[in-house]
Amino acid sequence: MAINKLNYALFGEQAAAPVLGQENSSPAPRGGTGVGQLTGMHTTIVVRDKNRAEQAVRESEQRYKRLLASVTDYFFSVTVEEGRFVGTVHGPGCEAVTGYTSQEFAADPFLWYRMIHSEDRPTVTAHAERILNGETPPPLEHRIIHRNGDTRWIRNTPVPHKDELGRLIAYDGLVSDITAHKQAEEQLERANAELSRNETALKRALEKLKVANEELQTTQLRLIQAAKLESVGTLAAGVAHEVKNPLQIILLGLDYLTVNLPGMNDGATLVLTDMRDAVTRANLIIRELLQLSASADFELKGEDFNDLLEHSLRLINSEIVASQITVVRNLAADLPRALLDHSKMEQVLINLLINALQAMSQGGVLTVTTRHRVLGEDLKMNGSIFPQAKPGDRVVIAEVQDTGKGIATAHLPKIFDPFFTTKEVGVGTGLGLSVAKKIMDLHGGAIDLRNAARGGVVATLMLRAVPEKSI
């Protein structure tokens, strides 16, 4: 009865079958479903389901193998006995990371050590010793050599296991392939280093640009000043020409009045004398202005500088005597001839000599020195350069030294500026050294003034000597 009910529930009314011993039983109709047929169908269903399950298992195993082949992490387990590693089991994912299979690691106990990059082996060994000593060190990043020869980076994260007495019995580890991460870090470091180098180069370039800009501004200011001085010189020359003749007439008139004015008393004589001194001073300024703005045309010849210096001393001999000055001559006997314009260079010497006399109003020693030398390099001096002379050229040097009080350090950079003077009002015009420098520039020479170590001022002149082959 129960089987009939199950058959009816599964297959319908025609599936009902008689049971042994049941009354009114009759043979099943032809084509109906009996108990044997039901059992066969059930067996077919079970076989089909089993085949499907087996296929699913095979597909799952294949997917698992593909997954293991692609992962960048794997586990390993190390057994520890009496403080020694006695066995290591590497998970199947080790092949994707190292190129070696679990079986290869099991067959070769030292493969894991040889696989470590030679430079990182001491670090890895020290890390393992810390674990054996009961520590739990942080993850270690180091390099390994893949089976294909590539260098890879891994992160080894240990997890120690201890017994109830706290003794290390094993530890597990997770190995992660961090090669891509390390490569990205290295690229970033290289990019940062390149950026730093570029930044440093940019800063240097900006600094150079800043210096160049400052030099350009300084040059522009010098050009502006030079243009202004040129304009002032042109204007001064025009004014000097216009004023010179009237001053001469006034001076002649004063001379006439001094001689021919009847009944002159001492007061009138004093006034006329003061007027004559003032006109004479104005005439001196005009003459120096004309010299400053005069044409640069002159003639260079080879001359004996010692003779020129002696002649200049004779021209101011009366001033030397009146000032009670002692002259000391240190003139080189073998001095080569110098290339110079006689009258212009005489003007420079007289200016320097008079300046020295005025610096020693209470008497002193005037020392004049000449010598020659062979240049080893271009000479640069205060306010002047000497680029015409080349290494190996001979030059003539002359010095005029006084024993006065010297020049204030703050004034030295200005001594060649037009109208700048350190003398008392009425003593100098401030044009003498400016004219002297211009003359030396025209000679292709150099002029320099400096304070002497023992007091006073040393004025130095440098001129090119006549080449020996021209003598």
pLDDT values of the chain reduced to their tens digit, one per residue, 471 residues: 433 433 333 333 444 444 333 444 444 444 444 555 666 666 666 667 777 777 777 776 666 555 544 456 888 888 888 878 778 888 888 888 999 998 998 899 889 899 999 999 999 999 988 988 888 899 999 999 999 999 999 999 988 888 888 888 888 889 999 998 888 988 999 999 999 999 999 999 999 999 888 888 877 776 666 566 566 666 666 777 677 778 778 878 888 887 777 766 777 778 888 888 888 777 776 766 665 555 545 688 899 999 999 988 887 787 888 888 999 999 999 999 999 988 788 888 988 998 888 888 888 999 999 998 887 655 555 445 566 667 778 889 999 999 988 888 887 777 777 766 665 544 555 667 888 888 888 888 888 888 888 888 999 999 989 887 655
**Distance (Å, rounded) from C-alpha 366 to C-alpha 329?**
9
Contacts of 252 (CB under 8 A, 6+ apart): none
DSSP E strand stretches across 146-220: 151-162, 168-177
Read off the DSSP letter of residue 374.
E
| The pLDDT of residue 424 | 59
DSSP labels, 249-303:
HHHHHHHHHHHH-TT--HHHHHHHHHHHHHHHHHHHHHHHHHHHTS------EEE
**Distance (Å, rounded) from C-alpha 76 to C-alpha 158?**
9
What is the torsion angle, in degrees rounded to the nearest 10, for the CA atoms of residue 177, residue 183, residue 188 and residue 189? 100
What predicted TM-score, i.e. pTM, was given to this entire model? 0.40
* Rg of the chain on CA atoms, in Å: 57
Cα 71 to Cα 58, 96, 171, 180: the distances in Å are 20, 7, 22, 13
Residue 294 tokens, joined: 């005069």
| Longest CA span, the chain | 195
Delineate the domains of the chain, giving CATH numbers in brackets: 71-177 (3.30.450.20), 184-290 (1.10.287), 299-470 (3.30.565.10)
| The pLDDT of residue 343 | 79
**Distance (Å, rounded) from C-alpha 248 to C-alpha 422?**
29
Residue with tokens 């610096």: 359
